[in-house]
Amino acid sequence: MTHTTQTVQTSTDPVLYRATFMHTPRSPFADADALHAEDDGGLLVAGGIILASGPWAEVRAQAPEAPVTDLRGGLLLPGFVDTHVHYPQVRVVGGLGMPLLDWLDRNALPEEARLADEGYARVVAREFLGALAMNGTTTALVFGAHYAGAMHAFFEEAAASGLRTVAGLVVGDRLLRPELHTTPERAYAEGRALIERWHGRGRALYAVTPRFSLSASEGLLDACGALLREFGDVRFTSHINENVTEVEVVRGLFPEARDYLDTYERAGLVGRRSVLAHNVWPSDRELGAMAEHRCSAAHCPCSNSALGSGFFPLRRHLAAGVHVSLGSDVGGGTGFSLLKEGLQAYFMQGLMGAEGVALTPAHLLYLATRAGAEALDLGDLTGDFSAGRQFDAVHLSPPPGTPLAAVYAHAEGPGRLLAATFASGTQGDVARVWVGGGEVYARG
């Protein structure tokens, strides 16, 4: 356990949080001591920003008069960062028994077509944002809907929710259902209007989002590239190398491209602020290029299991120097909990034997928090409890009488506490959630 108190100077009405807290300001993949745990810790917060972070006695001494919120008995973690989750799919979780392309045709896309109705989309957006908050997710890279009206409704509801969202209109112009298809011209015009209205407004950012190369002509990808060139700091996200059949179809559709990644590279879509979901079947060339571009792979282990997509080659990503974060991939995934995603990542890496990575609780925490903030280029703002970050936090407090409550009462050391949290923590253990110092969820 490290004992360093960090401090930032400001003046406005500070409040203190007293809790057992843990965070990973550095990557455990690079530094074996990266888990920072305070058994009796303090966080001094003013104006939504963490001013001081460290042992309770030291932080308390800096603000002897400040009111105290006592969260002892639970565990305070940085808010989770979900780097791949689909807003229109909240109602189709659980469509098991189909591989990706069948699942899209039979389960996901019929529901996505219903978001043509803006009223319907708004209700789904509320359900979706509520589900993120009650699972402790404070920042999400959200795969949007195919309809601009549904995206305006989403951004309005996201603003009301208080969550940090990076989201965009999903575009495709082939091989989906006709009612989901757009054109390069329309994709550009609608994307531009959405960016001008929402990017950088409150806690919202925009992500240019072609669904995947399978459903995008070169012209459509070029229209996405034009938006990225014009608006330098918007994010980019899409799917890549998820399923072997998908990869084969993409190869046939882009005979000129070196591989799947190249279909995006050629349109200028891959850079530091790009997040590519899945990447279960990458070539060495693609991994090397992803590292050079400094883009991120969003690993979605529950989805990879539910859709039978395959085992994520984490070891190869790390060896190549590719940054990896976590995603729930609702509704291909099985729910919104990044605790569950962390556990499933651990299981799958273990099952890979020598090809897997032996993940520790510190790795799981990093993947669920700090790694996501870095993938979204929001590392200065959120992802850990260092002084200077926003107070984005989740308080886990298992209901009395539950097995996890017994573990919390008796766990020996922070590693055990964190391991038990990932092993059996659920939505029901999330008691309170804050973004920028404001409460966005409190268990009823």
Of residues 282-321, which lie at the interface with ligand GUN (CB under 6 A)? 303
Q: Does 78 bind ligand GUN (CB under 6 A)?
A: no
Question: Is there a contact between 87 and 33 (Cβ–Cβ < 8 Å)?
Answer: no
Per DSSP, the residues of 249-263 read HHHHH-TTSSSHHHH
Residue closest to 195 by CA, chosen among 184, 204, 185:
204
Nearest CA among 81, 100, 139 for reference residue 278 = 100
Name the segment binding ligand GUN (CB under 6 A); options: 33-41, 100-108, 123-131, 158-166.
100-108
C-alpha distances (whole Å) from 106 to each of 112, 182, 299 are 11, 20, 24
Residue number with CB closer to Zn ion (278 or 317)? 278
Does residue 112 touch Zn ion according to CB under 5 A? no
**Contact partner, 108, from ligand GUN, Zn ion, none, Cβ < 5-8 Å per class:** ligand GUN
Residue 239 near ligand GUN by CB under 6 A: yes
Where in 192-231 is the site for ligand GUN (CB under 6 A)? Answer: 211-212
Nearest approach, Cβ of 239 to ligand GUN (angstroms)?
4
Cβ(240)–Cβ(274) below 8 Å: no
Nearer residue to ligand GUN within complex by CB, 14 or 333: 333
**Which is nearer to Zn ion, 94 or 219 (by Cβ)?**
94
What's the chain's Rg over C-alpha atoms? Answer: 21
Question: How near is the Cβ of 296 to ligand GUN at its closest, in Å?
Answer: 17
Residue 429 interacting with Zn ion (CB under 5 A): no
Evaluated on CA atoms 51, 426, 399, 132, the torsion sign reads: positive
AA letter at 15: V
Minimal CB distance to ligand GUN: which residue?
332
> Among ligand GUN, Zn ion, none, what binds residue 389 when CB lies within 5 to 8 Å by partner kind?
none
Cα 212–chain centre separation: 18
Q: Is 329 in the site for Zn ion (CB under 5 A)?
A: yes
Which residue in 144, 82, 92, 96 sits closest to 373, CA to CA?
82
Phi, psi (degrees; rounded to nearest 5) at 241 = 45, 50
- Check binding of 86 to ligand GUN (CB under 6 A): yes
* Beta bridge partner(s), residue 57: none
Among 361, 290, 368, which Cα is nearest to 336's? 368
- Output 150 or 396, the one with its CB closest to ligand GUN: 150
Considering only 35, 104, 166, 373, the residue that binds ligand GUN (CB under 6 A) is 104
What minimum distance in Å lies between the beta carbon of 239 and Zn ion?
Answer: 6
The set of residues, in sequence order, having a beta carbon less than 8 Å from that of 317 and lying 6+ positions away, is 279, 282, 287, 297, 324
Q: Which does 363 bind (CB under 5 to 8 A by kind): ligand GUN, Zn ion, none?
A: none
How many other C-beta atoms lie within 10 A of the C-beta of residue 267?
22
Binding window for Zn ion (CB under 5 A); candidates: 90-98, 125-133, 321-329, 354-362: 321-329
Contact between residue 18 and residue 72 where contact means Cβ atoms under 8 Å apart: yes
Residue 212 touches which member of Zn ion, ligand GUN, none, C-beta under 5-8 Å by kind: ligand GUN
**Does residue 38 belong to the site contacting Zn ion (CB under 5 A)?**
no
Output the residue with the shortest Cβ distance to Zn ion: 329
Q: Based on CB atoms, which residue is closest to Zn ion, 19 or 104? A: 104
Kindly state whether residue 329 participates in binding ligand GUN, applying the rule CB under 6 A.
yes
Q: Which of 163, 105, 114, 91 is nearest to 134 (CA)?
A: 163
Binding site for ligand GUN (CB under 6 A): 86, 100, 104, 108, 211-212, 239, 242, 303, 329, 332
